[in-house]
Amino acid sequence: MLSRTAENLYWLARYVERAEYLARTIDATLRVTALPAAYIGKTNEWDSALLTAGVAASFYQTYEEANEHNVVDYLSFSADNPSSIRNCIEAARLNSRSVRTALTSEMWDTINSAWIELQAVWSKGTSTREDLAKFLRFVQETSLRFDGSAYRTMLRNDAYWFSRMGVHLERADNTARILDVKYHVLLPEEEHVGGPLDFYQWSSILRSVSALTAYHWVYRETLKPWLIADLLILNDTLPRSLASCYGNLVRNLDQIGVAYGRQGPAQRHARGIRNRLEHSNMNDIFQHGVHEFIQEFIADNSRLGEIITKQYLI
Amino acid sequence: MAIAFDEMNIPGGDLRPAYQELARWLKETPPEALEYRRQEAELLFRRIGITFAVYGEAESTERLIPFDVIPRIMSGKEWALLEKGLKQRVRALNMFLRDIYHGRDILRAEVVPDDLIFQNPVFRPEMNGQQVPHDVYVHIAGIDIVRVDAEDFIVLEDNARTPSGVSYMLENREIMMRLFPDLFARHKVAPVERYPDELLAALRSVAPQSASGEPTVALLTPGVYNSAYYEHSFLADKLGIELVEGRDLIVKNNEVFMRTTEGLKRVDVIYRRVDDDFLDPLTFRPDSVLGVPGLMSAYAAGNITLANAVGTGIADDKAIYSYMPDIVKFYLGEEPILKNVQTWRCREPKDLAYVLDNLGELVVKEVHGSGGYGMLIGPAATKATIEAFREKLKREPEGFIAQPTLALSTCPTCTASGLAPRHVDLRPFVLTGSKRTTIVPGGLTRVALKEGSLVVNSSQGGGTKDTWILDE
């Protein structure tokens, strides 16, 4: 396969995944901010939404205040924010156009139709909560359709594996960022864990990765920060956990290694990260510091992105 | 201007035989149903992304070419004649190109004047004496045909560089079959879907000798912002070949490779949809980023086949066009089956004088123009435009040719006020490989949607129709 094609497929998958993640983040934030102040305390949820999206610095170059209107606008519709939902979908469509030959018609149809539909939203904006909710749902559904059509229609060859790699790398990054920011924001409250305040804060984390129900199935307990961290970091039955993402990344890279008859630094690096996740437990992680652990993970994960690029995509 | 030939109706009320079934069907089908299908077709085109970009507008502007749901129908007999004429013409085009870049018999015989070749900006001296595999220069030709009466097809233009539009021929058929299965059931329409197979076979057949047994073919596109990008990706997909951009290719030791996830892979045949000027910055325009540095030396070394060959522009130049009947006679010793439009060469003083005297009745075209840009349609032009053209013609007569305004045939077409006749042309696609020349039965029918308009180009608001050749 052309290196450029692989690169486009990989980024296409990342953009679609990122758009969905942003939609989830906004959705979860809206829920929390809709609660009476007594339940959520003084933290600014919109600030933490910006932090998890990794765009706080650029946001404050344009806006004064992180309120609902500004943040929703910046994360969803802003043409200036390179990772706004709008730009993700635009970039996904541009990538799709340049690799149409590598996409199945179902995948192209999903992206192209979404792009057509969303252009109307860009021009009108969303004036009501209802519009916004509809928009966020649409973005999530687009990602579901895209994923589903890839899963159902693509040949299981390098094109598929490169695009799955994009999904898992991006997803690992998103999950890690959510955890990091929330732990950071919530840390001072740690001694009061168990109050209604924390309950809604923590449930918003789980919601943003759509794992609230999963949590109850796995732990059959009230929400506890270390269990939430355990679920999102180490539990490989949860598709968005770091462990699960890395199980998949290693598998995808191995499939490519076998198809091409050659392993390389990407395979080794991914395996290294997976092994570390496999051999960790929450005690060690807490001892080491959750924040430090996640920061290292984020760096390692983006390093894998660089290695993949060097080995296959250029 | 004469009354246009109507493809469907014989004057006096009778129907031409090929259209009888369609007419019956139209009578049974309520106009709302047609309108509904038209909207459905538009939606399909947009969703599939069958668009073209319009230059000079914002980059994101992707337009649909309007699609008319009423097919244009031709009898098998008419097609057989047309096919024969097209093959003859393309054979002559290829012989002409081979001659121009080698022996130049035709210049010595003074059939075509020297300066038309040597002072022509699309003539490529780099191709002098260069051997091209199997002597095929024009692998893919799009010949624009118009019809003015029941007997005659007339060639309006030979497109021998990178003719486009074939994706519309194929997609129009797909969409028609989806929307009007009942109409197909009532006709025997010759299929066009073999085109990609024929194209791939033709391209593989012209691989250079140094290619391995299974030659690797790739389609070279300028990229997503090119107006015909949809077509490029569509064809690459149908052919099952890589769609490459210049940056995907690299030349090493005079061989061409593409960058893949498994390392470099040799390419043997490039179906290029990039113009000569942009192919290789080392040979042509140094500022081009679309091309591949060193491609021309790989070409000269005989390690890559370019389809169409470099330098084919000299054969479809409008100045050469007027000599085509002589070119056919010169190489084949046959009478041309397809006629030319009468053409005045403004470079010749006698012709220029005539043109200047009759500007109001003529169509004046730039010799090197394309896409309907920069032309004067006398009968439809304002006085001021005509005067502006008069000045241009006097300043640079060699840059123009003139033709009578033809009464292009008309075909019933959906309009806001119901079915109405609109002018059409036809672009069939002729494929030449090492052994044979083939044409799938059909082509792209373009239709001028504005009442009375003769301009069918998509860039000028023309539309397209499915073209049916009846299998009798």
Q: How much is the ipTM here?
A: 0.80
Q: Model confidence over B95-139: pLDDT tens digits?
A: 999 999 999 999 999 999 998 899 888 999 999 999 999 999 999
What b/e string do you get for B414-448 counting C-beta neighbours within 10 Å, with b at 16 or more?
Answer: beeeeeebbbbbbbbbbbbbeeebbbbbbbbbbbb
- Which of A130-134, B101-105, B163-167, B459-463 shows the lowest mean pLDDT across its residues? B459-463
Expressed in angstroms, the distance from the first to the final Cα of chain A is 12
Q: For an interface test with A, which of B261, B270, B273 has the most A Cβ atoms less than 10 Å from its Cβ?
A: B261
- Note the pLDDT of residue A45: 83
Query: Quick check: B48 and A97 CB within 8 A?
Result: no
Arithmetic mean of pLDDT, B419-431: 95
Q: For an interface test with B, which of A1, A87, A97 has the most B Cβ atoms less than 10 Å from its Cβ?
A: A97
- Which of A186-200, A286-300, B189-203, B379-393 shows the lowest mean pLDDT across its residues? A186-200
The identity of residue B153, as a single letter, is: F
- Note the pLDDT of residue B2: 57
- Note the pLDDT of residue B59: 47
> Which chain A residues are within 8 Å of B216, Cβ to Cβ?
none
The identity of residue B139, as a single letter, is: H
**For each successive 10 residues of chain A (314 residues), what is the average pLDDT?**
95 96 90 74 80 90 91 92 94 92 91 90 80 93 96 95 97 92 61 60 81 90 86 94 97 96 96 96 89 94 96 92
Please, which pLDDT band fits residue B54 given cuts at 50, 70 and 90? low
> Which chain B residues are within 8 Å of A313, Cβ to Cβ?
261
- Note the pLDDT of residue B399: 86
Name, in order, each residue with C-beta under 8 angstroms of B365's C-beta and a sequence gap of 6 or more: B318, B374, B375, B400, B401, B402, B403
For A1, nearest residue in chain B (alpha carbons)? B260
For B48, nearest residue in chain A (alpha carbons)? A109
For B49, nearest residue in chain A (alpha carbons)? A112
- Provide long-range contacts, Cβ within 8 A and 24+ apart, for A242-248: A242/A172, A242/A175, A242/A176, A242/A277, A242/A297, A243/A274, A243/A277, A243/A278, A245/A168, A245/A169, A245/A171, A245/A172, A245/A175, A246/A168, A246/A172, A246/A270, A246/A273, A246/A274, A246/A277, A247/A274, A248/A164, A248/A168
- Note the pLDDT of residue A199: 74
Please, which pLDDT band fits residue B244 given cuts at 50, 70 and 90? very high
For A108, nearest residue in chain B (alpha carbons)? B48
Query: Quick check: B261 and A6 CB within 8 A?
Result: yes
Arithmetic mean of pLDDT, B30-38: 90
Query: Quick check: A2 and B233 CB within 8 A?
Result: no
pLDDT at B46 > cutoff 80: yes
Cβ-contact B24, B196 below 8 angstroms = no
CA A63 to chain centre: 24
- Among residues of chain B, what percentage have pLDDT more than 90? 73
Please, which pLDDT band fits residue B368 given cuts at 50, 70 and 90? confident
Query: Quick check: A2 and B248 CB within 8 A?
Result: yes
How close does chain A come to B240, measured CA to CA in Å?
8
Q: Return the higher-pLDDT residue of A196 and B57.
A: A196
Please, which pLDDT band fits residue B370 given cuts at 50, 70 and 90? low
- Note the pLDDT of residue B279: 94
Q: A123 is written with which tokens?
A: 């021009």
Query: Quick check: B237 and A101 CB within 8 A?
Result: yes
Q: In what order do the strands lie in the sheet with B305-307?
A: B242-244, B217-220, B269-272, B305-307
- Note the pLDDT of residue B369: 64
- Among residues of chain B, what percentage have pLDDT more than 70? 96
- Note the pLDDT of residue B155: 96
